[in-house]
Structure 1
Amino acid sequence: MSLKARVIAGALAIALPLVGYYEGRSLVAYLDPVGIPTICDGITQDVQLGQTKTDAECDALLAAELGQAISTVDRLAKQPQPDTRRAALGSFVYNVGAGAFERSTLLRKLNGGDVAGACAELSRWVYAKGRQLAGLVKRRAAERELCEVGLQ
């Protein structure tokens, strides 16, 4: 296992069940609540309606995409973060995308040393195309709780 893979492994082990639970799994492509073709555990890149995947293919896609999201957190956070926070933020990046994270107040607060404020920002990200989604409210609450582990 490469050093990069070992560094990501702890956060990935925490984030995988979180993302899997909130994304759900579909082996057949479908339209998500805002009309984006989606398959497996929330995979949207290069997905076409009617497409199918196996569980093994979905497992591999999820691990790769989530690993990439955690790498994004590691690259953009100025200070090393504990695995619980990396997992929470990796789940967030997996859901909203690296660009949204990079431009976010959440990242500015994190890099400014306001970790509690950064974690609190997660609760604001509950809208998709202007609609508040109950699933996002629950997911962000779980991510926030994980993000705040170890804070006073």
Structure 2
Amino acid sequence: MSEPRLSTGAKGIALIKSFEGLSLSKYQDIVGKWTIGYGHLILPDEVFNVALTEAQAETLLRRDLAVSEKGVNQYVLVPLTQNQFDALVSFTFNLGVGNLKSSTLLRVLNAQQYQSAADEFLRWDKAGGKQVAGLTRRRTAERALFISQS
């Protein structure tokens, strides 16, 4: 586990918001899942019949970030910089804790192979089995943040 437990910094939140975008009304994402706010996947027990306010979207984002942060803090066993943590949270926010947990990225990172881990981000650029330009840009930005020293 990374010590101390980290939370997402300003660079990570900005990265996530820039790629998720803000939709105050629900929409179907690229693979057909209902989504709202900053990439919040609408759960079966949630109903969003009216548009969100920006404050409500921010609250949903913080709640969703907590899940991703918990996963990164739980499964990463090596020390992380804030930028590395933020990049991993963005990755996990987009792909889910299960994908982080089973990824080669996590395996090589926990073996302290930081450069190899950085390169693994780029392998996660597909949705529905097809390469997606937006995901390629996101993974490139996450990798750049992961290796950034400032």
Shift of the alpha carbon at 1:51? Answer: 4.9
Distance 1:109 1:20, change over 3 A: same
Determine if the alignment matches structure 1 residue 100 to structure 2 residue 102.
no
> Do 2:37 and 2:52's aligned partners in 1 also have CA atoms closer than 8 Å?
yes
Q: Tell me the equivalent position of 2:23.
A: 26
Query: What TM-score, normalized by structure 2, do the two folds share?
Result: 0.89
Equivalent residues of 1:30, 1:49 under 8 A apart = no
Within 5 Å, give how 1:15-94 maps onto structure 2.
Answer: 15-46=12-43, 50-94=49-93
Count of residue pairs the alignment pairs up: 144
Secondary structure of the residue aligned to 2:9 is helix
How many Å separate the matches in 2 of 1:50 and 1:104?
A: 36
Q: Secondary structure at the match of 1:39?
A: strand
Higher helix share: 1
Identity %: 35
Letter in 2 for 1:81: L
SS at match of 2:55: helix
RMSD: 1.7
Instruction: Call closer, same or farther: CA 1:84–1:20 in 2, change over 3 Å.
Output: same
Deviation at 1:14, TM superposition (A): 2.1
Give the structure 2 partner of residue 124 of structure 1.
Answer: 123
- 2:121 and 2:61 mapped to 1: Cα distance? 21
Paired position in structure 1 for 2:144? 145
* Native 8 Å contact 2:27 2:35 kept in 1: yes
Q: Which amino acid in the other structure matches residue 118 of structure 2?
A: C
1:108, 1:8 → 2: CA distance?
20
Per-residue Cα deviation, 1:11-60 (whole angstroms, up to 9, x for no partner): 33221110000000100000011111000011004255755321101001
**For the residues of structure 2 that align with 1:119 and 1:45, how far apart are their CA atoms?**
30
Measured after TM superposition, the shift of residue 131 of structure 1 is 1.4
Mind listing any 5+ residue stretches in structure 2 that lack a counterpart? none
* Structure 1: stretches of 5+ with no match in the other structure: 1-5
Instruction: Provide, for residues 69-113 of structure 1, a one-character-per-residue CA deviation record: whole Å limited to 9, x for no partner.
Output: 122111111112111000000000000000010000000000011
State the SS of the aligned residue for 2:52. Answer: coil
Deviating beyond 6 angstroms after TM superposition, the runs of 4 or more aligned structure 1 residues are: none
Native 8 Å contact 1:37 1:49 kept in 2: no
